[in-house]
């Protein structure tokens, strides 16, 4: 109902700079936004953010009767919800095409690729099995929901532990987490989706933002589709293809798909490694009885602009690495030992991009002249 | 009603942490933690809504509560109702006729005093969205144990041994009661004592609001 439309001049501008090799947020064609994973206090709950896109995943389990055709297998159920929190264009309690599409893709990627050992979820054949339910809640939709949701699903499934069960005769005892250590879910392989936006039938953009996604799937002024579309590729850590989905205009060369798959393969491997690493580090923290909570991810030092959380500027001839050591020093003891008390710090984020963050002072309008180098040196 | 003033001074709430503009697609949003309890709230509005739900005199407020996992329950609907009533009294809806305001709440962690945390996060998100309000509101929860002791902002361990739990919402101008939400059994005197204690503790929450808002606004502080 309340769709967001993009004007023709925005579309043509974005198409123009893309053909010159630039993206609006200053990334390269193959560059992804920053990925961060934070865990909640319970097993199997995490928030994954890919740039500004944020997704909450929670895995829960219950004992149910198995399906008649698969009496010795557990059940995996994936549910995606997009509430008005994700963006003002979404309506409450209504399934949109996007949420159905997302649900189906995740089911293809995680159920149909048989990455979870469902047989290990069986308690009593034909009577009792564990049913895992993955709830995906989209908190903020800023493009590439599929990749973000798939990372969230995989992370929460790999992080989840179910209570231990003992059978004595006919009765089944489910132990609480305090009585017996919970059992992790067995995953045979770790599939992750990667998204590419196709422009002009030959430019591949990895991790498209909301704007790029809307531009490439919409038709141009003449009403003819310009050969744009979105390509979703699911691969596991062994670089085996698990999912291929394409929407938008038809692809006119098979080379493009091959190119996308090879670049997705490396990316997926990287993501899976990062997921594994974050789960291991979370696990060691838990063993040390450190309380992990979503409250940990609340940062209080961002510059609070009214519409954008941070200010991202692309600096053409400025390398953040030159200043990194100095900035790192400022970051650790920014209160008193600051040589000259500046209102804001410049912190490196993506290559060639810096973020401006403030401490306790109230924010001011910061002027960014076309010569942004000067701003940095202030 | 209050006899011992010193006793009222002796209150403590769990540490609060807040980040505004946590979500960039919403008009206003806030993530708030009170101790280990965490909630995210996003506010969208005033925006265009369907003809049949428009009202001529004021903005239509829609509140959605979403739990962390599992199917939506009756308890969620009930929370929605309480939050809706509270927000309705605070927002100057008559300034935005024929429009809609959507408040969406997402549960992240529930370790006691969850409703109070949701309400406080709502108030911060409404402030962040820049909607006109009659007053701000602060929610404080408390628990009454078997001996009749009142514990402000209870932790889960204290909730287990409690006989009753209460959540009070006060407005900022005259500190008068906006919403009361109780559960369990208690005496009349315990109720009024708990209310007075929460009323004085609400000052802490209002101070916290000022601290947060003054980070991005020159108007306060």
Alpha helices in chain B (DSSP H): 5-9, 74-90, 114-129, 156-160, 188-213
From the list B96, B87, B92, the residue with the least C-alpha distance to B62 is: B87
Identify the helix (H) or strand (E) that includes residue A229.
strand A229-235
Contacts of A137 (CB under 8 A, 6+ apart): A55, A56, A57, A58, A81, A83, A85, B66, B68, B106
Contacts of A1 in chain B (CB under 8 A): 50
Dist CA A241 CA B64 (whole Å): 39
Distance of alpha carbon A345 from alpha carbon B140, whole angstroms: 36
Interface test with chain A among B30, B63, B70, B108, by most A beta carbons within 10 Å: B108
- Rounded to whole angstroms, the Cα distance separating A198 from B165 reads 56
B64: confidence class by pLDDT, cuts 50, 70, 90: very high
Query: Residue B191, exposed/middle/buried by CB under 10 A (0-12, 13-18, 19+)?
Result: middle
Question: Which residues of chain B lie closer than 8 angstroms to A298, CB-CB?
Answer: 17-19, 31, 33, 38
For the cut 90, the answer to whether the pLDDT of residue B72 exceeds it is: no
b/e burial code for range B198-220 (CB count within 10 A of at least 16 → b)? bbbbbebbbebbeebbebbbeee
Inter-chain CB proximity B102 and A92 less than 8 Å = yes
pLDDT bin (cut points 50, 70, 90) of residue A165 is very high
Range A58-67 average pLDDT: 94
Query: Which residue is listed with tokens 């979370």?
Result: A282
Which residues on B lie below 8 Å from A83 (Cβ)? 64, 66, 104, 106
Per-residue pLDDT for A305 more than 80?
Answer: no
In chain B, the percentage of residues whose pLDDT exceeds 90 is 71
- pLDDT bin (cut points 50, 70, 90) of residue A326 is very low
Tokens of A227: 């050969």
Give the pLDDT mean for A96-124.
93
Q: Which of A196-205, A309-318, A341-350 has the highest mean pLDDT?
A: A196-205
The residues, any chain, with a CB within 8 Å of residue A248's CB and separated by 6 or more, are: A198, A216, A217, A225, A228, A229, A230
Mean pLDDT for the stretch of residues A116-120:
93
Under the banding of pLDDT at 50, 70 and 90, the label for residue B6 is: very low
For residue B91, what pLDDT is reported?
95
pLDDT grade, residue B221 (50/70/90)?
very low
Label residue A231 by pLDDT band (50, 70, 90).
Answer: very high
B-chain residue closest to A308, CA distance: B24
pLDDT at B176: 94
Phi then psi dihedrals of residue A127, to 5 deg: -120, -55
> Inter-chain contact B27–A54, Cβ cutoff 8 Å?
no
Provide the pLDDT for residue A360.
43
Question: Cβ(B30)–Cβ(B18) under 8 Å?
Answer: yes
Q: Is A338 in contact with B55 (CB distance < 8 Å)?
A: no
On whether the CB atoms of residues B158 and B17 are closer than 8 A, the answer is: no
Percentage of residues in chain B having pLDDT higher than 70? 93
- Taking an 8 Å cut-off on Cβ atoms, the answer to whether A294 and B108 are in contact is yes
- Work out the number of other CB atoms within 10 angstroms of the CB of residue B118: 29
pLDDT of residue A152: 97
Q: What is the pLDDT of residue B216?
A: 73
- A 307-326 residues with CB < 8 A to B: 307-309
Query: Tell me, what's the pLDDT at A203?
Result: 87
Element containing residue A138 per DSSP (H, E): strand A128-140
- Split at pLDDT 50, 70, 90, the class of A250 is confident
Report CB contact under 8 Å: A295, B17: yes
Residue A104's nearest CA partner among A272, A260, A245, A251 is A245
Q: Which of residues 72-111 of A touch B (CB under 8 A)?
A: 81, 83-88, 92-93
Mean pLDDT of B168-192: 93
pLDDT for position A363: 45
- Pair B126, B141: CB distance under 8 Å: no
pLDDT computed for residue B214 by the predictor: 81
Cβ of residue A339 closer than 8 Å to a chain B Cβ: no
pLDDT at A259 over 60: yes
Question: Per-residue pLDDT for A324 more than 80?
Answer: no
- Closest CB from B23, B50, B104 relative to A54: B23
Identify the residue whose tokens are 């422009």: A199
Which pLDDT score is estimated for A7?
86
Tell me how many residue pairs between chain A and chain B have CB atoms under 8 A apart.
128
Return the closest-CA partner of residue A213 out of A43, A50, A326, A349. A50
Give the tens place of pLDDT for each residue, B90-123.
999 999 999 999 999 999 999 999 999 999 999 9
Instruction: Please compute the mean of the pLDDT values over residues B117-133 and round it to a whole number.
Output: 94
Q: Using alpha carbons, list the distances in angstroms from residue A198 to A207, A257, A371.
A: 11, 10, 32
Give CA–CA dist B41/B127, Å, rounded.
12
For A289, the token pair is: 């009885």
- In chain B, the residue whose alpha carbon lies closest to the alpha carbon of A293 is B36
The string of pLDDT tens digits covering residues B40-51 is 999 998 998 888
Of the ranges A12-16, A18-22, A242-246, which is most confident? A242-246
Tell me: pLDDT of B39 over 70.
yes
Query: pTM for the whole thing?
Result: 0.85
Confidence of residue B206 (pLDDT cuts 50, 70, 90): very high
3-state SS of B8-67 is: HHCCCCCCEEEEECCCCCCCEEEEEEECCEEEEEEEEEEECCCHHHCCCCCCEEEEEEEC
- Chain A residue with minimal CA distance to B38? A295
What six digits make up the tokens of A123? 């308690």
> Do A58 and B69 count as a contact with CB atoms less than 8 A apart?
yes
CB of B80 closer than 8 Å to CB of B120: no
Q: Which residue of B has its CA nearest to A138?
A: B106
pLDDT band per the 50, 70, 90 thresholds, residue A179: confident
Mean pLDDT of all residues belonging to chain A: 81
Output the pLDDT for position B124: 94
B129 touches A at CB < 8 Å: no
What's the mean pLDDT when you consider all of chain B? 89
CA distance B74 to chain A (A): 15
């Amino acid at each position: 109902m309340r769709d967001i439309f993009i004007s023709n001049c925005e579309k043509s501008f974005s198409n123009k700079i893309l053909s010159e090799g630039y993206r609006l947020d200053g990334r390269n064609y193959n560059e992804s936004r920053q990925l961060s994973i934070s865990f909640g206090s319970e097993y199997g709950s995490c928030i994954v953010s890919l740039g500004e896109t944020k997704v909450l995943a929670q895995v829960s389990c219950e004992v149910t009767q198995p399906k008649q055709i698969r009496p010795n297998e557990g059940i995996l159920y994936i549910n995606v919800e997009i509430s008005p929190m994700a963006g003002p264009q979404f309506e409450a309690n209504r399934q949109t095409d996007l949420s159905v599409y997302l649900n189906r893709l995740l089911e293809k990627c995680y159920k149909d690729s048989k990455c979870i050992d469902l047989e290990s979820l069986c308690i009593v054949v034909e009577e009792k099995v564990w049913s895992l339910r993955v709830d995906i809640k989209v908190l903020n939709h800023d493009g590439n929901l599929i990749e973000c949701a798939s990372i969230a699903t995989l992370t929460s499934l790999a992080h989840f532990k179910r209570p231990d069960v003992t059978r004595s005769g006919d009765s089944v005892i489910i132990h609480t987490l305090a009585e017996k250590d919970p059992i992790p879910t067995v995953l045979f392989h770790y599939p992750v989706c990667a998204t590419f936006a196709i422009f002009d039938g030959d430019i591949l953009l990895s991790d498209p933002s909301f704007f790029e996604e809307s531009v490439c799937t919409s038709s141009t002024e003449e009403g003819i589709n310009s050969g744009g579309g979105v390509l979703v590729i699911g691969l596991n850590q062994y670089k085996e293809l698990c999912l291929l989905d394409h929407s938008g205009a038809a692809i006119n060369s098979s080379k493009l798909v091959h190119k996308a798959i090879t670049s997705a393969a490396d990316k997926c491997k990287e993501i899976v490694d990062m997921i594994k690493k974050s789960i291991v580090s979370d696990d060691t923290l838990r063993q040390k009885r450190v309380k992990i909570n979503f409250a940990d991810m609340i940062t209080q030092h961002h510059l609070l602009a009214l519409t954008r959380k941070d200010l991202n500027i692309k600096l053409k001839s400025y390398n953040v690495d030159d200043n990194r050591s100095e900035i790192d020093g400022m970051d650790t003891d920014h209160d008193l030992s600051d040589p000259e008390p500046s209102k804001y710090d410049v912190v490196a984020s993506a290559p060639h991009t810096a973020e401006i963050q403030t401490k306790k002072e109230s924010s001011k309008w910061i002027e960014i002249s076309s010569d942004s180098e000067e701003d940095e040196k202030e | 009603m209050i006899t011992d003033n010193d006793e009222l001074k002796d209150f403590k709430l769990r540490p609060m942490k807040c980040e505004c503009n946590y979500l960039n697609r919403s008009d206003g949003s806030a993530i708030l933690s009170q101790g280990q309890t965490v909630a995210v709230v996003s506010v969208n509005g005033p925006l265009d809504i369907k003809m049949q739900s428009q009202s001529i005199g004021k903005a239509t407020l829609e509140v959605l509560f979403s739990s962390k996992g599992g199917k939506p329950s009756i308890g969620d609907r009930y929370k929605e109702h309480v939050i809706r009533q509270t927000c309705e009294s605070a927002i100057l809806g008559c300034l935005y006729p024929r429009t809609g305001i959507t408040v969406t709440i997402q549960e992240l962690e529930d370790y006691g005093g969850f409703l109070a945390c949701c309400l406080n996060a709502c108030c911060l998100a409404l402030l962040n969205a820049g909607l006109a309000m009659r007053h701000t509101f602060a929610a404080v929860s408390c628990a009454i144990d078997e001996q009749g002791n009142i514990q402000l902002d209870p932790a889960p361990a204290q909730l287990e041994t409690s006989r009753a739990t209460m959540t009070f919402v006060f407005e900022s101008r005259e500190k008068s009661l906006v919403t009361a939400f109780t559960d369990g059994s208690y005496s009349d005197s315990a109720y009024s004592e708990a209310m007075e204690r929460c009323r004085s503790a609400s000052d802490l929450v209002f101070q916290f609001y000022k601290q947060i808002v003054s980070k991005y606004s020159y108007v306060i502080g």
